[in-house]
A and B are shown apart, each in its own frame.
Chain A
């Protein structure tokens, strides 16, 4: 009987130890598992500027298409829209509360 209890305790310890080991060694725990978002350079169909910030004139590509980023940024607007190899996410939600010009409505 005593031996059985001893074995049970050891069994439990083994399970707990295995759990800890798995948790400690599972390096996938810090991995982002969702599918990678759009990392292309195109804004995608229907994409527009979010409204604030005025026109977007970054020049043209060799084929005459408009560029969507600045090669040699100087101003705030150019810096935040500078060309980059980083992942870009297109997000242009429809927000009914925005003003007609895209501005922010006053708080209620």
Chain B
């Protein structure tokens, strides 16, 4: 097992990884930007190294600074968390070259599966249905021709995007060029890569994903999640398992995952994402890393996913026998937000930060912390577990009423609205429901 793990991340996921390391008896090194000097994860880690100024490009995306921090502190492994450098094949390779084990799949697998264009091509080659789309767009005339061929509405996507960044819905040729420039710009600044492709946009689809853990002799499937409730393509409510799937559909889904990964000798944690439209699955993308919403799967499977991921990276067999899924788990992402209708980024000091204490809450923040404009807007993940979906919804309704945040704006009222909606209770929602519900909500206020 590792002696000391460097966590190349911040916030709640750094806290989560530190806790997993502590349980495994591993020392931890936090790296942080000047904006995070007082953050909880920095205090919780055994050692900490300031790696740069607030801007992520000079700190959490600064490969050399993070590697030097690892070398200076004698870390023997690097956990990248999610976002930042978690799917950066070059960084994975550099870690190994510096003598630190990368807690993730090897660089070549990141290249194959994390890059959306590569993974789509591979999925198609292995017989998985994919969403009709274009290859890489390299010129403007090509952009128009491909969009016309696919048919509007289309999605413009950055190859290295994720978490809703670098994606735009385009309704007509008129909008295309403007949004192309926007996505190209976003891709360049957030993901250190500027390549773009097109995809057909489906109106009524569910986002279903499968959690996998690859081990030397087998690919474990750790269940599935429904993450269809998204706002601006960012997941805000996730469930485990996906209650909408029939037994037969689930079998088909898992077969597709095996079809994609079995021949690749994938030995790490990963998530394979699909769109589920009219009882058909379309391969969307794969994330070769720990996912924000891993917690709901931990609740229903009883497996500590982060510990299992670390054990696999250390060539130890995780103690996973037959996995039995029981009950239902729901996660709500409490985000900083000024106005639900305007989707403004809110910053400021948390003057009150009361979260439920009787259910699982993953957060990297404490009362009095400053929410800076440099990173993501996630304040806390509130996770409930109950025997049935209905009971889990009830529980979430109750715990959300215990949440009190002042000093900054949040999406709390929106979460409450969604959790209390008939659509959610009846499990009749799709990837566009949040936008539509919010629209309906705002109209009601005028009535």
Question: Are A and B a genuine interacting pair, yes or no?
Answer: no
